[in-house]
Structure 1
Amino acid sequence: MHLQPATLLKQARTRYTQRELARHIGKDIRTLRRWETGQTPCPDMLGPALQLLLFPSGTAKQSENNRFRFIDLFAGIGGIRSGFETHGGQCVFTSEWNDFSKKTYLENFADLHPFAGDITRMDADEIPDHDVLLAGFPCQPFSIAGVSKKNALGKPHGFECTTQGTLFFDVARIIARKRPAAFLLENVKNLLSHDKGNTFKVILQTLRDELGYEVHYKVIDGQHFTPQHRERIVIVGFRENSGFSWDSLQLPAQGPRLGSILHATDGSEPVLEWDGNRFFDHEKQRIQPKYTLTPNLWAYLQAYAQKHRAAGNGFGFGLVSKDSVTRTLSARYYKDGSEILVSQGGRKRPRRLTPRECARLMGFPDTFRIPVSDTQAYRQFGNSVVVPVMQEVARIMAPHVLEILEQDAGGRAISLPLFA
């Protein structure tokens, strides 16, 4: 699917400045600004020029083994997508409202399909037909930290949170209209117990009773695949009776330890062209000093932990070594890194994980590029999914998706949506 010049221009502006684009297409900045604001229509010549800049290979990132189409809602930086591409999926539509996440996403996935921002403003008819709907819908209204924060501020949470909690119903209206063969929804474990279980009860009633899908759910801990204790609920649904079972999920009994994802200081750390020396000094074979906590911050965290220990609370920092499994990486990691502080031995102050180590902790390969600031990168990885978990779920879902598609091709009637 080839995009219109205006759409390509919007994508290009997430990666390049107006000055860089003007130089590339041979126009002045004022002309580019008029195109961008809609004051002057984008000319046809702009399309090929921007397409060559954004997608030098000339094609989207596709595989000859594409077996089903999926859409990626609340896409973040593409963690769920990565899992489903591994098992034959082709992404045909993406939605992500955060500009920084969008920048990282587009840097790693060369897409020639529509990329939307606010999904709440899109008519379901505008979304391409697809076989699988993927959605890591926002978890803040349901997470323990999110609920505590909203309670402290006297704000509503869950489905009463109009800005995020009700986004589940946008997922539901798209499922109702497009009737994909299957879906996968991902959220925090606390979704199960939020509002004494009523929130999850509404979600299941919507998916099963109103939409008519066969629904299965399971809490999966990412530490089976990466050295991080990260429990998330995965909800999968199928339009037809599928025979799907979580019993075929293969979860290694012993996952890796932290040392497997830390920068190697013995000379074996790979040199990544896109990272350079940003996170690791290859000449001195050491992590960049900026990731070591300052004396003031380290003193503050120790005093804070001591205060809560004296009060009988469990709050404090999480000091880890190479043999550890970490706490859950959060989107607030950029603030002080307190949940995962890497010991550097002796009297040396501990350090934060680098963004590259955070990427590895979430299961992203080293080919994954990090084009944003450290602060934004920490937020993005803290909000992401453990990629190998998604790969394993995609592996056991794919055969059932393909079976439903074969039934469709054979002329079997598709049930009408009940959700209005």
Structure 2
Amino acid sequence: METLRVLELYSGIGGMHYALKESGIPSQVVASIDINTTANQIYRHNFPDTPLWNKTIEGITLDDFNKLSFDMILMSPPCQPFTRLGRQGDIHDPRTKSFLFILDVLPRLCRLPRFILLENVKGFESSAARDCLVKTLMECGYTFQEIMVSPTSVGIPNSRLRYYLIAKITTEDLSAQTSSKISDAFPHSAESGSSGQPTVLCPTRTGTCQPEEGHVLYKLETATDAQRKMNQNSNLSVRQIKDFLETQIEVNMENYLLPPKTLLRYALLLDIVQPTCRRSVCFTKGYGRYVEGTGSVLQSCMETEMESVFTGLDQYSEEEKLQRLLKLKLRYFTPREVANLMGFPQSFSFPEQIPDKQQYRVLGNSLNVVVVARLLQLLVY
């Protein structure tokens, strides 16, 4: 097929661009657009030859868009208006303004792009912004498919359930065309839907997806929570955490050990995984700074059993508690390891001047490269 001209909106650190490369689709990113200066530094470091526009989307004219003559739009609009922990301002949140601007521009383009892929958080599927999107696509003559899927469905041991929409200009019904292929593209999902498969949303309704699994409070977990973890760790179609780890030679792991204050205060809230586990919880932009619900931590010392450390922990003094907890050598995943679990290739790297805190932040705002690559293949081929 001919080389597709691709417009990458909200380009971030280049997750969509890497997914495009991973998909094998002949393509050229004609412009990437983002206003986050740190993300743009990282994007330019990895894709120096791609035109990167450091400007607001609303500041781009219709004529500018037409000159790009793109065949595909990739976008991951700001998720904050739709997250469960946010205010859920939806279309009334100022951060949705740029997305609504895109929907206003789309029908007025001199040539509609053939393909569109959008990613967002769970919650977007039942938003007014989603309804505006669907209305615009239908008026422009697109057929589309909406899917909820997590990286576990492609064998990656990380939960990151997300909403995706793929759309194309075609006379065929895309939902009918792709539904039969989705199980083949995402064969291993054990969390997206009750059937163990990604949840395919009905185009005429919202809010039909299964709820995402929340993080688990270690030791306070219910029997159901413990059983779910056990089931995830016994799913042989998902790879082990150790396949995604750096070695001690590559990086000094001492720098990533949880500090004593954090251990004492948050020990019972930590989601602890071991190298042989086949699960980890979603990494957010607060990872490394906050503990609860921001991502899993790794038990580095396997000579000590976790149960022996936590059993009766409350009976000990703070100093004794700390000594017991230190035996596990609990550490944060490094930014490179988080990138690995999010499907970024080894060719991806951070500029030296970007500190870990900012690396975690931009990764938490990014997407899973392998999942998007599979969706692009479904969309185009």
Normalised to the residue count of structure 2, the TM-score between the two structures is 0.72
Q: Which residue of 2 aligns with 1:80?
A: 16
Could you list the per-position Cα deviations for residues 371-401 of structure 1 after superposition, in whole angstroms to 9, with x for gaps in the alignment? 12111110111111110111111112223xx
Decide which of 168, 172, 180 is 2:113's aligned counterpart: 180
Distance 1:215 1:386 in 2: 21
Q: Structure 2 vs 1, CA of residues 66 and 82 (structure 1 numbering), >3 Å: closer, same or farther?
A: farther
Report the secondary structure of 2:288's partner residue: helix
Q: Quick check: 210-219 or 236-245, which moved more?
A: 236-245
Identity %: 24
The equivalences for 1:325-340 within 5 A come to 325-338=279-292, 339-340=295-296
Distance 2:150 2:240 in 1: 14
Instruction: Supply the AA of the counterpart residue of 2:288.
Output: Y
The equivalences for 1:227-246 within 5 A come to 227-244=157-174, 245-246=178-179
Q: Which residue of 2 aligns with 1:126?
A: 64
Determine if contact 1:337/1:352 at 8 Å carries over to the other structure. no
Determine if contact 2:151/2:371 at 8 Å carries over to the other structure. yes
Q: Which residue of 1 aligns with 2:218?
A: none
Q: Is the aligned partner of 1:398 residue 2:358?
A: no
Q: Which residue of 2 aligns with 1:364?
A: 344
Determine if contact 1:120/1:167 at 8 Å carries over to the other structure. yes
Determine if contact 2:167/2:379 at 8 Å carries over to the other structure. no
Q: Which residue of 2 aligns with 1:321?
A: 274
The equivalences for 1:260-271 within 5 A come to 260-265=243-248
**CA shift at 1:335, angstroms?**
1.0
Determine if contact 2:119/2:164 at 8 Å carries over to the other structure. yes
Point out the structure with max Rg over C-alpha.
1
Q: Is the aligned partner of 1:374 residue 2:374?
A: no
Could you list the per-position Cα deviations for residues 299-355 of structure 1 after superposition, in whole angstroms to 9, with x for gaps in the alignment? 1112xx4xxxxxxxxxx3211112131111111113135431111233234110101
Report the secondary structure of 1:134's partner residue: strand
Q: Structure 2 vs 1, CA of residues 199 and 71 (structure 1 numbering), >3 Å: closer, same or farther?
A: closer
Determine if contact 1:67/1:90 at 8 Å carries over to the other structure. yes
Distance 2:289 2:129 in 1: 30
Q: Structure 2 vs 1, CA of residues 324 and 336 (structure 1 numbering), >3 Å: closer, same or farther?
A: farther
Could you list the per-position Cα deviations for residues 130-185 of structure 1 after superposition, in whole angstroms to 9, with x for gaps in the alignment? 0001111111110112x2xx3xxxxx6111102x1233212213422331111111
Report the secondary structure of 1:171's partner residue: helix
Determine if contact 1:137/1:186 at 8 Å carries over to the other structure. yes
Q: Which residue of 2 aligns with 1:219?
A: 148
Q: Structure 2 vs 1, CA of residues 256 and 177 (structure 1 numbering), >3 Å: closer, same or farther?
A: farther
Q: Which residue of 1 aligns with 2:228?
A: none
Q: How many residues align?
A: 292
Instruction: Supply the AA of the counterpart residue of 1:182.
Output: F
Q: Quick check: 233-242 or 67-76, which moved more?
A: 233-242
Q: Structure 2 vs 1, CA of residues 240 and 130 (structure 1 numbering), >3 Å: closer, same or farther?
A: same
Q: Is the aligned partner of 1:341 residue 2:271?
A: no
Distance 1:81 1:131 in 2: 15
Q: Is the aligned partner of 1:143 residue 2:83?
A: yes
Instruction: Supply the AA of the counterpart residue of 2:132.
Output: V
Distance 1:291 1:185 in 2: 34
The equivalences for 1:297-308 within 5 A come to 297-302=262-267, 305=268
Report the secondary structure of 2:145's partner residue: strand
Distance 1:334 1:120 in 2: 33
Give the alignment's Cα RMSD to 1 decimal.
2.0
**CA shift at 1:106, angstroms?**
0.5
Q: Structure 2 vs 1, CA of residues 393 and 200 (structure 1 numbering), >3 Å: closer, same or farther?
A: same
Determine if contact 2:107/2:136 at 8 Å carries over to the other structure. no
Q: Structure 2 vs 1, CA of residues 112 and 331 (structure 1 numbering), >3 Å: closer, same or farther?
A: closer
Distance 1:394 1:130 in 2: 16
Determine if contact 1:135/1:184 at 8 Å carries over to the other structure. yes
Distance 1:72 1:219 in 2: 21
Report the secondary structure of 1:241's partner residue: coil
**CA shift at 1:205, angstroms?**
1.9
**CA shift at 1:87, angstroms?**
1.7
Q: Structure 2 vs 1, CA of residues 112 and 229 (structure 1 numbering), >3 Å: closer, same or farther?
A: closer
Q: Quick check: 345-354 or 325-334, which moved more?
A: 345-354
Q: Which residue of 1 aligns with 2:241?
A: 258
Structure 1: which 5+ residue stretches go unaligned?
Answer: 1-64, 151-155, 270-276, 282-286, 306-315, 400-420
Determine if contact 1:258/1:325 at 8 Å carries over to the other structure. yes
Report the secondary structure of 1:384's partner residue: coil
Instruction: Supply the AA of the counterpart residue of 2:124.
Output: L
Normalised to the residue count of structure 1, the TM-score between the two structures is 0.66
Instruction: Supply the AA of the counterpart residue of 2:266.
Output: L
Determine if contact 2:150/2:162 at 8 Å carries over to the other structure. yes
Structure 2: which 5+ residue stretches go unaligned?
Answer: 189-236, 305-326
